[in-house]
């Protein structure tokens, strides 16, 4: 990958999927998506560091929260990860929060202008949500989304642990996060459309972090969901099977 590539780089003619047959276009996109894994592998050491730091914060204070921050695609990816922590690991709802540009309505409808709130407005939105013992994870593929960067800066002032996940190098989010994770995925097949490879890398990265954090906090035992929340018959059967297997060992 050329280091100067960013998520905004215009694809060369060899990547113009609108001029290809379906099979060729699909293969090009699959190959491009595979670079998401490469980007994550290249950042494995800092991902490991983030897991250790997050576990330390969350285990020291029973009220510490995981707070996800984002705008647009990144916000929707963040919510996908965070909402699963309760049913899968029994992580309390009160210990997961979301700070989303545009609020809840932005999860199902684009509210892109919300990214440009003033610093004062952002502080009004988050001042009662973030505490010094919280973990704040900000996602922005570009690394320059004003809303996310400003929330991370404010969280730093409060003393929270901040983790920034971005897909371009040398960005504001990288510079202001206490633990910057740069998933350098480069050019998108559709220039600037970070719902593609960049979004894939963010989802996998969050999945790795949150799953291993929950495991280190005792919410996974012998590869099973020992703290899962039962909400239907299927899950009741699964829970019975898990309890039986764990009681035998």
Structure tokens belonging to residue 195: 């719902």
84 is catalytic: yes
The answer to whether the CB of 116 falls within 8 A of the CB of 147 is yes
Q: Which of 5, 8, 84, 123 is catalytic?
A: 84
115 is catalytic: yes
Q: Which of 112, 115, 124, 188 is catalytic?
A: 115
> Measured between alpha carbons, how far is 71 from 99 in angstroms, rounded to an integer?
9
HEC-encoded secondary structure of 181-231: EECCCCCCCCCCCCCCHHHHHHHHHHHHHHHHHHHHCCCCECCECCCCCCC
Report the DSSP pairing between strands 96-100 and 161-166: unpaired
Residues designated catalytic: 84, 115
């Amino acid at each position: 990958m050329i280091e100067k590539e960013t998520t905004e780089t215009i694809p060369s003619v060899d990547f113009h999927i609108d001029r290809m047959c379906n099979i060729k276009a699909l293969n090009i996109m699959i190959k491009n998506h595979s670079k998401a894994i490469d980007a994550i592998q290249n950042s494995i050491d800092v991902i490991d560091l983030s897991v250790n730091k997050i576990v330390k914060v969350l285990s020291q204070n029973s009220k510490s929260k995981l707070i996800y921050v984002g705008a647009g695609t990144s916000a929707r990816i963040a919510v996908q990860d965070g909402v699963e922590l309760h049913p899968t690991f029994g992580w309390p709802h009160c210990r997961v929060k979301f700070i989303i540009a545009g609020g809840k309505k932005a999860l199902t409808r684009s509210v892109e202008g919300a990214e440009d709130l003033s610093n004062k407005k952002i502080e009004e939105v988050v001042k009662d949500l973030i505490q010094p013992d919280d973990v704040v994870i900000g996602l922005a593929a570009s690394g320059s989304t004003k809303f996310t960067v400003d929330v991370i800066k404010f969280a730093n002032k409060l003393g929270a642990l901040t983790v920034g996940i971005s897909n371009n190098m040398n960005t504001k989010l990288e510079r202001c996060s206490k633990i910057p994770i740069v998933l350098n995925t480069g050019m998108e097949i559709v220039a600037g459309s970070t719902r593609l490879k960049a979004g894939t890398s963010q989802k996998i990265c969050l999945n790795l972090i949150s799953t291993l954090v929950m495991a280190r906090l005792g919410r996974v035992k012998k590869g099973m969901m020992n703290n899962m929340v039962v909400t239907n018959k299927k899950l009741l059967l699964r829970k019975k099977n898990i309890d039986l297997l764990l009681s035998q060992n």
